[in-house]
Structure 1
Amino acid sequence: MAVTIRRLLANARLGLRVVLGHEGLDQPVRWVAVSEQPDPTPWLDGAELLLTSGMWLRDQDDPAAAAERWATRLAEAGARAVGFGLDPWFTEVPAEVVHATRRHRLTLIEVPRRTPFVAVDRAVADLNAAEARREAEQARKVQQQLAEAGYAGRQAVADRLAREMHGWVAVLDAGHAVALRAPAGAGPAAEALTGLARQGDRSGRHILQVELDGVPVTAVPLGPARERRGTLCVGALSVGERPMWAAGIVGTAAALLTVLDRGGERELRRTIAGLLAEGDARSAARVAAAADLPLPEEFAAVTLAGSGHRRAAERIVAAGGWAAGDGRVGTVVLVIPGFTEERLEPLLGGARAGIAAPRPLDEVPAGIRESGLAAELTGPDRPAVRYADTPVMELDRLLASPEAERFTAALLAPVTETADGETLIAAARAWVEANHHWDPAAAAAGVHRETLRARLRRLAKLTGLDLDSPTDRLALSLLMATLARRGSGA
């Protein structure tokens, strides 16, 4: 149930009174905005209740024209209603405001002098928080029902999903052909669904939202987005009206459909590990809970490289590991703490392994990065390398230190304050990654060599660095490494 103006009015302690616009009382209100500006639209995002005491109207030579401009802007910005506070400027809602809001079909509410605006804001926030809790509980129940439907197969999951979403469901295979629908025959033509699946495939996005035949539609991949094995399409009003709730439900259904397509707990673990590797720990936890699969609090990432690394990954997964797909260096698996000490090395065969320390679920991507760095240091005489034992870790600690952050902030301050700061930083990153060679750096940046030189000269002037100096080049390299580490979430 959305938070509406009517539900806000039901709070007797606020003493709000509808002046006009009773027909709009059931419109959803997402948040409250307070403004005394003649043009409040720069601070609006749609679906607001705008609160004002009318200070902007006091000194207007033509109050009626000013109120008309004000109401026009509100309507165009998508505001739902206006709450007009009595006192300190007006003892009643001005007639000009009443006429202007009526012309633009805005709901007008009188806020009595004893009710501070913050109380209205808090009331809307409390209603939204209660609604979020209710939706979370409802989502948990629906996800459990989907998991139970999975015992009867993929069609049962699709039927349950369509029923809970009050819409239609279509499942497409890896070739973008419609494999099943729920209810039977519902939804757009097969050509439209195929086009939607192809669009999602090309974009590589984990979720795609469009509108087909006037109905909001979401499309999500079956399997990790980079290894799409099909597409789940859902059309329902709730996709547009309750996007976060719908995303959780549809994401759970997609994971279950993927598992049922391939079968077994191992595939479910692959799906969950793929979500963790993509940094989506929340969805991974929801899928595990819906399928009643225990999820450890921490995982150690292992990157397998060298001869036979895929067969080694299969052996580790068979022994209880979670396949997370391909990383930058090799195949990645996640294992529970203790596995690497007790069981890993006998399973390697001829493969090599970079091993990260255990990390919480929301830090799995950082663990994968660390295991990849460790894997690069393995060799024939050193088949397993732990990231914690490498000099790279000490460098990482240095780059993560408060001193490195202060160094980065101080050096970058003149750059970030300029309009082209991001362009200059991108040029520096390309130059550093190309080991200070101009032609490869220009090609990577997609600009002419002289353009790149000009950007580096400007950056050097702003930062005071001499890029012909080895020491200053090292400073720039450390700066780029700190930024890269910050961007990776490590």
Structure 2
Amino acid sequence: MPDPAVPPAPPTPAVPLAALLAREDLALRQIAGPSDPPPVVHAAHTSEMADPYPYLLGGELLLTAGVHIPDAAGSGTYFDDYVSRIVAAGGAALGFGLVPVHDTVPRALVEACDTYGLPLVEVPPQTPFTAVARAVWQLLAQARLAELRRVTEAQQSLATAAARPDPVPSVLRQLAQRVGGWTALYGPEGAEIASAGRRPEAPQTASLAELAEVVRPSGPGTPASATHATAGTHLAAYALSTGFVLGVATPAREPGDHTITSVAAVLLTLLTGEQQSGSGAARTSALVRLLLGGTTEEVAPLLGRGDTWFVVHASPNDQRDRANLLVGARGPADMRLRRGARPATTHPQPPDLLAATALGASLGSTLIDPVGDIVQVLVPADRAPQPQPGWTLGVSAPAPPQHLSAAAAQASRALARARATRTPLVRHRTRPALDDLVPREAAQAHARELLEPLAEHPALVETLRTWLSLHGSWDRTAVALSVHRNTVRQRIARSAELLRVELDDPDVRMELWFALRQE
């Protein structure tokens, strides 16, 4: 005896039965069975078998002319048995064709369909079953095309969200919008760290958190995903390889939702993940050695991929979430430094760790260090940093590990220039300059003597350096330093007063610029 349990519907877009009934060329009419919830059809199948169960996969509109009905069927249990078997097989609806076998739909069949909750549709004599089947396939094709378009557009929007300065919240928001529900990201410890969309009731939220624990990696056999339906809400949890879990709560489960959510899960894995291959232990060793007084030359090889890095600070264009990023360089024992400026606000906000992690991932590194209102990231030498959407970058000249401080200053100035000129990336010029003609020790001694009156005024030094690098532009200097243009004027005037020089003199400007470059 076959299992009477109803099989699941096929994972494809369905056609509302109402769409078929609305076709005037078919003239179909529902005469029995429920209409709420609205019945849906996944296929059309014609059969005159007395027991169609073995031939149904579930979700079909079964078409019959009643050839199989015996003459005495109305007085026994024939119609109850027939309808119950269709329901057990997962049939979506029954279409009964009039003439030439039956002039009307048997009354006992109508009663059986009402009893077992199977929609019964009357097919008029002028409508062949092939026309009904063709209409079903046409509607299915339209539904599949619409679903494909929906999935494609969702994938594109998720990819765009992943490239934003706040990628993780953006991906969650876009996913919630695309599936029409609520999304949440749970951290490795199980805490909810980000969410988007309309939050469901507390019981559903708690159930989703419990479902997230089911898929959290805990050993062999842990499922990668799990679903659960409760109180009219469909819950789904997806384990990310980084220890995070993506949770989704929706009123219903559409065929394309799994595909869309899987794309989001892949993106979130990349955005929150750390590169494996034993790098974690090496980074720990590097930190311990630094804390115990190790030199940069000793620590650099522990970070992997050689002994050279790009050290970068990146400033996000979004004023609500500013951060700086350090990334490492390429070449024998050299480094490039990219640095971002502080946000244009008197109350710096802590950087978004997820956004910083995502930026580090896009630059090819997980070596990030949020500090204050900036984030520092070290990128291996074989990953030359490129401009990033939503970020402004400054790049230093190549520098060995022992010269990172000087490279950082170069990168800071490069970023200030990038922000002032609204350029995505500015690199420190590396061609031979005046510096190469003067011994470094002599140049530094001259710089200390010349700038000694400003030694206790770091704000004046930085303002003077930026103002000179921007050719004396008050407005661009104000933008680069995130201060008012009148503040720039006051600082420059004070610097000229302390130095006892005339800053309109190009020779004076050149000498000061040379000295400032030696710091």
TM-score, normalised relative to structure 2:
0.45
Q: Which has the larger radius of gyration?
A: 2
TM-score, normalised relative to structure 1:
0.48
